[in-house]
Amino acid sequence: MKKAITAIIAVVIIALMAMGYADTAAHRAHSGAETEVDPQEIIFEHLGDAYGWEVPFNHSKRIPLPIIVRAQDGSWHAFMSSNLEGGAQYNGFQIAKGGDYNNKVVQILPDGSQYRPLDLSITKNVAGIFIAALLVLIMVFKVRNWYKKNGMKAPRRFTAALELVVDFVYTDTIRPIMGKEAPKYGPYLLTVFFFILTMNLLGLIVIFPGGANLTGNLAVTAVLAVITFLVTNLTGTKHYWKEMFWPDVPTALKCPVPLMQVIELFGIFTKPIALMIRLFANMMGGHMVVIVFMLLIFIFGSMFGTAVGGAMTPLSVALSLFMLLLDVLVSFIQAYVFTILSTMFISMAHVHEHAE
């Protein structure tokens, strides 16, 4: 049985490689010249957002996604991204190549200049976020429905695994830190954890439902950090603000020159920014390293010839596989770190008078 599976996997891999080779060969024969591989472009294309979703083994086909833009005159336009494929214009909109708005939808004004409209398109990343949110919903409701249906019986299989994670995050992390406030903030923190974890793991899957670099995008992590920032400061106790503006330190440190106040105020903002940057950099870095290891084949190929590039293949694949597996671990760790730090920031804003 095991041998049969191994054999099937090997055959599939060889078939894929042959297809890829045929594809490249056809491409070369068609264009007539060897096209230079641009690693930077490939990396940014994979890490960045797009208006369509790639399908495997095809460089031009994209799954079309809706584009929603507000033109300069204030009118809203909605159409499918397939209308803009290959640099085509539609209703005066176009995907810019190069310039300030590289790979973004722009409106071509009558005088020929580009105008960047208010862009609420369902891009690849937005669709990815929706898919991740839906997956989280399904998973969490699976656990909930188990309890609804089976009461006190222990869950099995996937539900049990989910429950283990919920237990780990809530009982072992949130509750010891938050104490009796845990039931109030638990839902927010658990949602953050599962949403980030799902987005992280989806980003590691190469084909359709995954492949969007969600948490490696500054906008996504910024929103999460801002929400934590808002929760922290809007629910802060009086004592939290008193500690901020009139802390228990020698008067010289706070009266003529508000040294402590400046440091504390600075701290309010550095905390969420650190959250944002940490998640973003970890996930983006992981993705980037995986792609770079794969691109080593082509970089070596163009530097020392195809044979060297081919010889690099096993090493490249092994390294990027290793990085991918490491990223699975990092996905969990970063989701956990974001959650535990949010928990600590929120609980630190809920300080009460020191017990005398």
Partner 1 sequence: MELFKPEFGLAFWMFIAFLCLFGILAKWAWPFIIKSMEERADLIDKGVAYAQEAKSHLDNAKAEADKLIAEARNEQADILREAAKMRNELIEKAHSEAADEAKKVTEAAQVSLEQARKEAEKQLRTQVGDLALQIAEKVIRRNIANDDAQRALVDQYLSEVEAKN
Q: Which stretch binds partner 1 (CB under 8 A): 79-87, 212-220, 304-312, 344-352?
A: 212-220
Measured from the CB atom, is 145 or 306 closer to partner 1? 145
Measured from the CB atom, is 170 or 298 closer to partner 1? 170
Measured from the CB atom, is 83 or 302 closer to partner 1? 83
CA distances from 289 to 54, 76, 143, 203, 220 (A): 20, 39, 35, 14, 20
Are the CB atoms for 350 and 235 separated by under 8 Å? yes
* Shortest CB 329 distance to partner 1, Å: 23
- Does 107 sit near partner 1 (CB under 8 A)? no
Q: Pick the binder of partner 1 from 28, 144, 156, 242 (CB under 8 A).
A: 144
Return all residues near 88 (Cβ < 8 A) that are at least 6 apart: 94
CA distances from 257 to 147, 176, 213, 262 (A): 58, 38, 45, 9
Q: Give the pair of three-digit tokens for residue 146.
A: 């188990």
Residue with tokens 């440091």: 263
* Shortest CB 15 distance to partner 1, Å: 35
Q: Which stretch binds partner 1 (CB under 8 A): 42-50, 57-65, 88-96, 266-274?
A: 42-50
Q: Which stretch binds partner 1 (CB under 8 A): 20-28, 40-48, 262-270, 298-306?
A: 40-48
- Does 222 sit near partner 1 (CB under 8 A)? yes
- Does 188 sit near partner 1 (CB under 8 A)? yes
Q: Give the pair of three-digit tokens for residue 189.
A: 């923190």
Q: Which stretch binds partner 1 (CB under 8 A): 79-87, 184-192, 238-246, 324-332?
A: 184-192
How many residues of this chain bind partner 1 (CB under 8 A)?
49
- Does 156 sit near partner 1 (CB under 8 A)? no
Measured from the CB atom, is 116 or 350 closer to partner 1? 116
Q: Pick the binder of partner 1 from 23, 34, 38, 167 (CB under 8 A).
A: 167
Q: Which stretch binds partner 1 (CB under 8 A): 12-20, 44-52, 240-248, 311-319?
A: 44-52
> Which of 167, 168, 160, 124 lies closest to 139, judged by CA?
160
Q: Pick the binder of partner 1 from 85, 119, 181, 264 (CB under 8 A).
A: 119
- Does 85 sit near partner 1 (CB under 8 A)? no
Per-residue contact string for residues 322-351; x = within reach of partner 1 by CB under 8 A:
------------------------------
- Does 176 sit near partner 1 (CB under 8 A)? no
Q: Which residues bind partner 1 (CB under 8 A)?
A: 44, 47-49, 102-103, 118-123, 125-126, 129-130, 133, 136-137, 140-141, 143-144, 147-148, 151-152, 154, 163, 166-167, 170-171, 183, 186-188, 190-191, 195, 217-220, 222-224, 227, 284
